[in-house]
Structure 1
Amino acid sequence: MKALVLKMFGSARNLQYTDIKKPEIEDNEVLIKLHYSGIGQWDIFEREGGYDKLLNMKSSFPYILGSEGSGTIVSVGKKVEKFHVGDQVIGVNFLSKNGGFYAEYSAVPETSVYLKPNNLSEIEASSISGVGLTAYRGIVDVLKVKNNESVLIFGASGGVGLIATQIAKSLGCHVYAIASHQDGVDYLRKLGVEHVVDGRNSDLNSLLKKFNQECFDSAFFTAGGELADLLCSKVKNKGRIAYPMGISELSYENSNVELLGYYADIDENLIKRFERWIYVANPKINVEQVFELNDGINAHKRLEEHYVG
């Protein structure tokens, strides 16, 4: 099969489009012929060998990036019960021993696959799991938001932030979103977010004035930095602040506020709950650009630029 592979960790120039052996499935796996693969910021960290260092792994080469994608099942293992050849599915599999989704085919455990909802296109389906499962874990399981609570979301126009915003809204929260650039603000307003501002070149007082809100029940951060630390101070006593591990560390300290860094810890239960939410909430996914598989270098360069979603 064709795949985009790394012969060594490093820059985007190390990505090579080449022929590689198609993966063989085990009894509990399915083989997906991929139509689209998602690409995200975490792929840069993986490409540079960050996870190998962080998790003390010794990956072998050639190495295939990519933790999610959508396509059609072309083969099923002997013990697979839920899926059949021809099913249109979404796969999500982080740091897979079989290689990732930057390829024509991917072997994925049955527990890491779910049927593509009809309310998502194949392109949207390929890009919802990495950001969506991270957002769902943070908003539902870590923050445990409740109806009518005020939730501040910092980095709301990024991939995780857009889904986190929609999850919080679907649970009846009053969302206060801080986006990046005017196109991010415009997209969030199209989603029905009433309170949204551009956080670039804004100070704390101007943001709070635009929101007409002095403090929040909880907050969700997809980025750190000076403004993020200042915003932490506007979470109520006994409030909660959540952020995915891997962003710039928040330096805010207040014993009356819970500061909760977390990993997505993707498992079958989380996937099932997120799948149900997709059917009910009908979320919107913004895929800024689509690249051919053989154009991976430019795709990774694009990750370094501004985009929405």
Structure 2
Amino acid sequence: MRVITQQKLGGPEVLTVVDAPAPRAIPTEVLVRVKAIGLNPLEARLRAGEFPLLGRPPFTLGWDISGVVEEAQTWRFRPGDEVFGMPMFPRAANAYAEFVSAPALHLTRKPASLSHVEASALPVVGLTAWQGLVDIAGVTAGDRVLIHGGGGGVGHVAIQLAKALGAHVIATASTGKREFVEGFGADEVIDYTAVDFAEAVRDIDVVLDTIGGDTAGRSLAVLRPGGHLVTAVAEEDAELAAEFEAAGRRFSGIGVDPDPVALRGLADLVEQGKLRVHVQETFPFERVADAHRLLERGHLRGKLVLTV
């Protein structure tokens, strides 16, 4: 099979397509013939060596996949089933490849209404949004939810999830993304290039932070007493957590993990017409370096996907 690997840390040019033996599924796993691979900003940082999650090269990046079951060592799937998911995270899933061996519990059946490209874009961002808003924050009908970065991968899915839960959703976005974010159901959009969100909103029940920097700290001012900040980027900031707790607000960090219940929940919302995922651009497998150049520029609308 073809696989994208790297022998050293560095820029997008270190990503190389090579031939390698296909993996084999062990009991409880399936072998997936990959059709599409979702890309995530984390992968550009790992490629460059910003932190050693996967150790030293050589390694193969990637977690978001959609494809067809080739071999099943489990009763959960049969060959020919179309599946998608985020196997193994944060351990290496070696998903930048034509075949991936994955635990059956880390996958679910692909909704017929989603293409493989769309399905591959959903797991990491969808599970992050679900685990943050449903599992950690417990968003319910009538809550006021502020989502930072509403036009990004996690953000545009989180808007739809919060709306499906019955929340009033406010999202921050740049001027050029206002219509894009409104199209996913945001009740209010704050243009962060022109307005300070900390002065524009109050009495927020839940803030979901996908931006980082000082965004999490400045969100303290908009939360009601007992309100909850969930951050996907400052999860280990103990000093900030203490500041929130001292002010009578809750602080939670989220590190996404494989979750069959949430993955099935996301698929159900897709099937109900309450959730869609936006893919800004697709790249053929061989152009992975070009995809990474765009990925690390940031300011994307939704996701980037490799097609296999």
- Name structure 2 gaps, 5 residues minimum: 303-308
Which runs of at least 4 in structure 1 moved beyond 6 Å after TM superposition? none
Using the size of structure 2 for normalisation, the TM-score is: 0.88
CA distance in 1, matches of 2:89, 2:259: 14
The yes-or-no answer on 1:242 pairing with 2:233 is no
* Aligned 1:139-158 pairs, distance under 5 A: 139-158=133-152
- Name structure 1 gaps, 5 residues minimum: none
C-alpha change, 1:49 and 1:267, in structure 2 (3 Å) is: farther
What's the CA shift for 1:219? 1.0
CA distance in 2, matches of 1:267, 1:95: 10
Q: Is the CA contact (8 Å cut-off) linking 1:5 and 1:15 kept in structure 2? A: yes
Q: Is the CA contact (8 Å cut-off) linking 1:37 and 1:127 kept in structure 2? A: yes
Could you tell me which residue of structure 2 aligns to residue 40 of structure 1?
A: 40
What's the CA shift for 1:20? 1.3
Q: CA RMSD in A?
A: 2.3
Of residues 176, 189, 195, the one that matches 1:202 is 195
Deviation string 1:5-40 (CA, Å, 9 cap, x unpaired) is 111233222100111111121122111111110001
Of residues 73, 80, 93, the one that matches 2:69 is 73
The yes-or-no answer on 1:262 pairing with 2:254 is yes
Specify the SS of the correspondent of 2:4.
strand
More RCO (CA 8 Å, sep 6+): 2
Q: Is the CA contact (8 Å cut-off) linking 1:119 and 1:279 kept in structure 2? A: yes
- For 1:277, the aligned partner's letter is L
CA distance in 2, matches of 1:30, 1:204: 46
Could you tell me which residue of structure 2 aligns to residue 282 of structure 1?
A: 274
Larger mean CA deviation between 264-273 and 112-121 belongs to 264-273
CA distance in 2, matches of 1:181, 1:33: 40
- For 1:115, the aligned partner's letter is R
CA distance in 2, matches of 1:181, 1:264: 29
Of residues 170, 186, 190, the one that matches 2:179 is 186
Size of the aligned set, in residue pairs, is 297
CA distance in 1, matches of 2:91, 2:219: 40
Q: Is the CA contact (8 Å cut-off) linking 2:125 and 2:157 kept in structure 1? A: yes
Specify the SS of the correspondent of 1:32.
strand
Using the size of structure 1 for normalisation, the TM-score is: 0.88
CA distance in 1, matches of 2:93, 2:265: 26
Of residues 57, 60, 63, the one that matches 1:64 is 60
Could you tell me which residue of structure 2 aligns to residue 214 of structure 1?
A: 202
Q: Is the CA contact (8 Å cut-off) linking 2:234 and 2:253 kept in structure 1? A: no
What's the CA shift for 1:162? 0.9
Could you tell me which residue of structure 1 aligns to residue 163 of structure 2?
A: 169
Deviation string 1:150-195 (CA, Å, 9 cap, x unpaired) is 111111111011111111100110001111341x211121223231
CA distance in 2, matches of 1:99, 1:227: 31
CA distance in 1, matches of 2:132, 2:91: 26
What's the CA shift for 1:94? 3.7
Specify the SS of the correspondent of 1:144.
coil
Deviation string 1:45-90 (CA, Å, 9 cap, x unpaired) is 222345535xxx64663x211101111111112xx00111111111
What's the CA shift for 1:248? 9.4
Could you tell me which residue of structure 1 aligns to residue 130 of structure 2?
A: 136
Could you tell me which residue of structure 1 aligns to residue 305 of structure 2?
A: none
- For 1:83, the aligned partner's letter is F
CA distance in 2, matches of 1:144, 1:281: 22
Report percent identity of matched pairs: 27
Q: Is the CA contact (8 Å cut-off) linking 2:270 and 2:276 kept in structure 1? A: no
Q: Is the CA contact (8 Å cut-off) linking 2:146 and 2:204 kept in structure 1? A: yes
